[in-house]
Amino acid sequence: MNREIFSWYSPALGKDMPVVSYGHYGFALLLVPTAAADYLEYERFQLIDAIKPWIEAGKVRVFSVNSINTESWLNNNMLGEHKAIRHNQFNEYIYNEVVPYIKNKTSWETPIYVSGASFGALHSMNLFLKRPDLINGAIAMSGVYDLTEYSKGFWDEQVYYNSPMHYMPNLTDHGILEQIRRSPHIHIVTGSGAYEDPGSSGKFAKILYDKGINYNLDIWGQEWPHDWNTWRAMLPAYLEYKL
């Protein structure tokens, strides 16, 4: 399996940001880490090994980026306003730097799907919904789509605009909605075991339904907790049956 690490100084974030890629061909899968993790997290917890057959077969080329959650929502020493600013800088990094990087490493016609688990699921869904012109769909695993779960009581306009549970009910831009509706792959997947919140996934799916957006809500059983064994099973299942 081809593995490459590349890094550049990010103008949006003001620091070097590494990206790792796996594979050589196929659609692009952009992985966003959980919580406070780094770009090698999915490799470290064997999720890359779990999807290795699809990578080696040239069906998917995976790209994984660093999280900056410890510089935003998980930094208890920052003001809420500054956390929101840093989060928006991360969004700009993905849209203006990572997406063009992926296109240059693949092709400008290659679709990009974004995926993540836990906090990475919220970020993944948010990145897709805000820019469906750049990102073609999302596989969100074990997510809670309400950013106030992480903002520790802070609320402002930028929390609203990065919290899909809040902004999607009020989204009226026809062009953006039509781009979202055209996506064949909006997957909301969760277990029902320890520390999972399938109710949150159901509530968010209802919001998409009310907007006329096609999606797949898949709630796995009680034997699937909020942990890596679940995600190592979920992502291969969607590569095999859904994409």
Q: Which of 81, 71, 97, 136 minimizes the C-alpha distance to 11?
A: 97
Q: What is the pLDDT of residues 178-198, one digit of tens each?
A: 999 999 999 999 999 999 999
Residue listed under structure tokens 């009310």: 210
Instruction: Tell me if 106 sits within 8 A of 28, measured CB to CB.
Output: yes
CA angle, corner 14, sides to 76 and 105, nearest 5?
115
- Spell out the domain ranges in the chain: 3-241
What mean pLDDT is predicted for residues 199-222?
98
User: Which pLDDT band holds residue 108 (cuts at 50, 70, 90)?
Assistant: very high
Distance separating alpha carbons of residues 115 and 128, to the nearest angstrom = 10
Give dist(CA 219, CA 200) in Å, integer.
11
Per-residue pLDDT averaged across 64-77, rounded? 95
Least confident range from 202-211, 216-225, 231-240: namely 231-240
The answer to whether the CB of 145 falls within 8 A of the CB of 204 is yes
Domain 3-241: give its CATH code. Answer: 3.40.50.1820
Question: pLDDT for 16-55, tens place per residue?
Answer: 999 999 999 999 999 999 998 999 999 999 999 999 999 9
**What span, in angstroms and rounded, lies between the C-alpha atoms of 195 and 119?**
13
Q: How confident is the model at residue 242 (pLDDT cuts 50, 70, 90)?
A: low
Encoded amino acid at 11, one letter: P
Q: What is the per-residue pLDDT across 119-151, written as a single tens digit (0 to 9) for each?
A: 999 999 999 999 999 999 999 999 999 999 999
pLDDT band at 240 (very low <50, low <70, confident <90, very high): confident
Judged against a pLDDT cut of 80, whether residue 241 lies above it is answered with: no
